[in-house]
């Protein structure tokens, strides 16, 4: 399991609004205030809601509402998101891998916890808080110190100090009221800025839409752009009828030609010399002439008889000539019919070529596609006219005048107010609520009143003897449940590595350790065995830290659970050892995700690497 994203709004200890994409490994979160942001408490409150709205305590001072959300990557790589209104209802979402949208899984607090445990891999709350979050307040001496401090506060304080505190609280109350007024103005400016930016976006979107429509209109096909006749659409529409009409005209001309006898069936005139009568007449005439020329006497006059066959042959030749002339006249009329047919065919071919060229130019395979393409200019002209009217209406709207300047002015004013809020909050960007301050004032007044009674003051001044409890049994019991081992088996898993951590952090003052069957711990110093409850306070804290680091390291070898470390350990670990501790945390970051939360002024090597501001 990994933390993918943390988003907060109006949450105590964070910037007013922040969204951070968390990466695997070692991550440093730098808080806007000197104290670390309560990341561990926020994650625990979101993942383990009690259903009573107790997470409202995380609201930033002066804020009535706040939001927080966490995104997880489960062990099966599924992505989940948990979103909650602080003090209100929350919802668990899962990313749909197909649509890339988050879908609500449940809004029930109990179902959320069971789903996070069963499907995301989150341990129970007690285990998560005690093992996978590390805060200064968890250390034995800090717990004891806090207990003693609470007892000291109950015992009372001197009147002058209480009066000073009361005065400070009243000043804080005045500042909180002022901050509340500033926050109210800032919320109004934020709302105005959002409204103006929405109007500007609407205006820009309408301008872009108009520009796109004009560009599309400029590219739309027209007869002029296609180089086609102005009535090309009508020509395409008439094309089937024109094709039938042309074929019908050609057919009628051909029928007319055939009826006139000038069709392809009309034969040519046979040559006269192919007529046997012509040949016989010529031969007879020639024979008579030859006979008359070669004979004497009465046969000499036979040549005169050749006139008759020659005359008949001449008549046949004349008829042949007349038939040739008639055939020539008939051929001329037939050519006229052929020309008429050719003209009709050429006219339709030109018509068809114009139609095909126009359809090809617009990429249309059918007439319907061509009609649709040619209708675009008119449709787009109407659309452009509508958009021009809409854009003009937006431009003349008084609410849309000088939007960029108004947005810049609102942003500048909001930034100035936000800066004032940061200054009022001491750089943290938030202040406590007026109700909380008023309660502190009432308590301070009560304590001050009791402090004025010498007997009460004496009775409360006695502080109990400081006592450090052994934190090992409770921690080992949780570990046994987490690892599903008994006490002996659990300690066997942890022993060597815990001693290594302790030896390094405690400058080799201890070389061994053991845990009995009840979970009580003992450490071995040269020549003696010491219960951890008898250790000096800082050494007990180092023992606790070593055991905590070991638990995380061992469990991370089995399954990944994010670890949240809130800074403030420099009072627990000696300053020369802080770089060593930082390397230890970075080592854990190679096994699982470690989120190290530091204060704004922290000067440490922990700021190296993946650092994000919260």
Q: What's the rounded mean pLDDT across residues 594-605?
A: 75
Closest to 33 in 3D by CA, of 575, 597, 608, 572: 597
Name the residue ranges covered by the structural domains of the chain: 1-122+563-573+589-614, 157-216+399-460, 224-361
Please determine, for residue 271, whether its predicted confidence score (pLDDT) is greater than 90: no
Please say whether the beta carbons of 498 and 450 come within 8 A: no
Q: Using a pLDDT cut of 70, give the percent of the chain over it.
A: 88
**In angstroms, rounded to a whole number, what is the distance separating the alpha carbons of residues 584 and 71?**
26
Whole-number mean pLDDT of the chain? 84
* Cβ atoms within 10 Å, residue 491: 22
Pairing of strands 563-566, 133-134: parallel
Q: For strands 79-85 and 594-598, give the pairing.
A: unpaired
| Range with lowest mean pLDDT among 6-15, 333-342, 363-372, 392-401 | 333-342
> Regarding beta strands 101-106 and 521-525, do their DSSP bridges make them parallel or antiparallel, or are they unpaired?
unpaired
408 has pLDDT over 70:
yes
Residue 17 main-chain phi, psi, to 5 deg: -150, 125
**Beta pairing partners, 595:** 27, 564
What is residue 141's DSSP assignment?
H
Tokens 């052994």 correspond to 470
Nearest Cα to Cα of residue 84 among 93, 95, 75: 93
* pLDDT tens-digit map of 258-267: 777 666 544 5
- What burial class does residue 362 get, using C-beta atoms within 10 Å of its C-beta: 0-12 exposed, 13-18 middle, 19+ buried? middle
Phi and psi for 18 in degrees, rounded to 5?
-150, 145
Q: What is the mean pLDDT of residues 392-411?
A: 88
Mean pLDDT of the region 422-437:
66
Give the pLDDT mean for 242-271.
Answer: 77
Q: pLDDT class for 455, splitting at 50, 70, 90?
A: very low
Above pLDDT 90, what percent of the chain? 32
Digit-coded pLDDT (tens) for 546-564: 999 999 999 998 999 999 9
- The strand order across the sheet containing 79-85 reads 17-21, 2-9, 67-73, 79-85, 90-96, 101-106
Instruction: Summarize pLDDT for 64-123 with one digit per residue, the tens.
Output: 899 999 999 998 889 999 999 988 889 999 999 889 899 999 988 888 888 998 898 899
Distance CA 578, CA 606 (A): 9
Q: Among 3.40.190.10, 3.40.50.300, 2.60.120.10, 1.10.3720.10, name the CATH number for the domain at 1-122+563-573+589-614.
A: 3.40.50.300
Question: So what's the pLDDT on residue 264?
Answer: 52
Look-up of token digits 């617009």: 362
pLDDT of 458 reads: 38
Confidence tier at 543 by pLDDT (50, 70, 90) = very high
């Amino acid at each position: 399991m990994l933390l993918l994203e943390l988003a907060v709004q109006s949450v105590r200890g964070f910037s007013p609004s922040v969204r951070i994409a968390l990466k695997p490994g070692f991550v440093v979160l730098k808080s806007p205030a000197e104290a670390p942001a309560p990341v561990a408490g926020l994650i625990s409150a979101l993942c383990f809601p009690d259903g009573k709205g107790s997470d409202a305590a995380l609201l930033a001072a002066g804020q009535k509402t706040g939001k927080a959300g966490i995104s997880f990557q489960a062990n099966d790589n599924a992505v989940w998101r948990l979103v909650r209104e602080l003090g209100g209802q929350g919802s668990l979402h899962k990313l749909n891998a197909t649509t890339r949208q988050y879908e609500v899984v449940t809004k029930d607090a109990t179902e959320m916890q069971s789903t996070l445990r069963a499907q995301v891999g989150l341990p129970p709350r007690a285990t998560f808080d005690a093992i996978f979050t590390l805060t200064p307040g968890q250390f034995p001496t800090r717990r004891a110190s806090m207990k003693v401090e609470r007892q000291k506060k109950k015992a009372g304080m001197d009147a002058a100090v209480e009066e000073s505190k009361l005065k400070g609280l009243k000043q804080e109350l005045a500042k909180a009221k002022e901050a509340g007024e500033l926050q109210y103005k800032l919320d109004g400016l934020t709302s105005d800025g959002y409204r103006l930016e929405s109007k500007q976006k609407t205006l820009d979107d309408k301008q872009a839409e108009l520009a796109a429509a004009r560009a599309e209109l400029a590219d739309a096909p027209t007869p002029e752009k296609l180089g086609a006749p102005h009535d090309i659409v009508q020509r395409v529409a008439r094309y089937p009828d024109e094709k039938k009409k042309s074929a019908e005209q050609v057919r009628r001309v051909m029928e007319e030609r055939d009826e006139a006898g000038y069709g392809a069936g009309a034969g040519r005139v046979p040559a006269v010399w192919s007529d046997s009568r012509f040949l016989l007449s010529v031969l007879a005439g020639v024979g008579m002439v030859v006979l008359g020329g070669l004979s004497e006497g009465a046969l000499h006059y036979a040549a005169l008889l050749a006139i008759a066959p020659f005359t008949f042959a001449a008549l046949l030749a004349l008829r042949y000539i007349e038939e040739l002339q008639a055939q020539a006249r008939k051929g001329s009329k037939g050519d006229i019919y052929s020309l008429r047919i050719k003209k009709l065919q050429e006219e339709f071919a030109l018509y068809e070529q114009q139609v095909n060229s126009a359809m090809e130019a617009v990429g249309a395979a059918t007439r319907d596609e061509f009609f649709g393409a040619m209708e675009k200019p008119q449709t787009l002209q109407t659309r452009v006219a509508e958009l021009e009217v809409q854009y003009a209406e937006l431009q003349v709207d008084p609410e849309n005048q000088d939007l960029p300047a108004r947005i810049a002015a609102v942003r500048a004013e909001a930034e100035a107010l936000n800066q004032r809020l940061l200054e009022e909050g001491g750089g943290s960007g938030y202040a406590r609520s007026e109700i909380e301050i008023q309660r502190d004032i009432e308590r301070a007044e009560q304590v001050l009143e009791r402090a004025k009674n010498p007997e009460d003051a004496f009775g409360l001044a006695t502080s109990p003897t400081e006592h450090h409890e052994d934190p090992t049994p409770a921690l080992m019991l949780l570990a046994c449940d987490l690892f599903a081992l008994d006490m002996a088996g659990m300690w066997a898993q942890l022993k060597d590595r815990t001693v290594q951590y302790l030896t390094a952090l405690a400058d080799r003052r201890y070389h061994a350790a053991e845990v009995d069957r009840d979970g009580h711990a003992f450490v071995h110093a040269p020549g003696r065995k010491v219960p951890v409850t008898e250790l000096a306070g800082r050494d007990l804290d180092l023992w606790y830290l070593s055991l905590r680091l070991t638990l995380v390291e061992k469990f991370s070898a089995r399954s990944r659970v994010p670890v949240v470390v809130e800074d403030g350990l420099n009072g627990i670990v000696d300053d020369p050892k802080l770089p060593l501790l930082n390397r230890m945390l970075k080592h854990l970051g190679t096994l699982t995700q470690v989120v190290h939360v530091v204060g704004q002024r922290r000067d440490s090597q922990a700021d190296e690497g993946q650092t994000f501001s919260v």
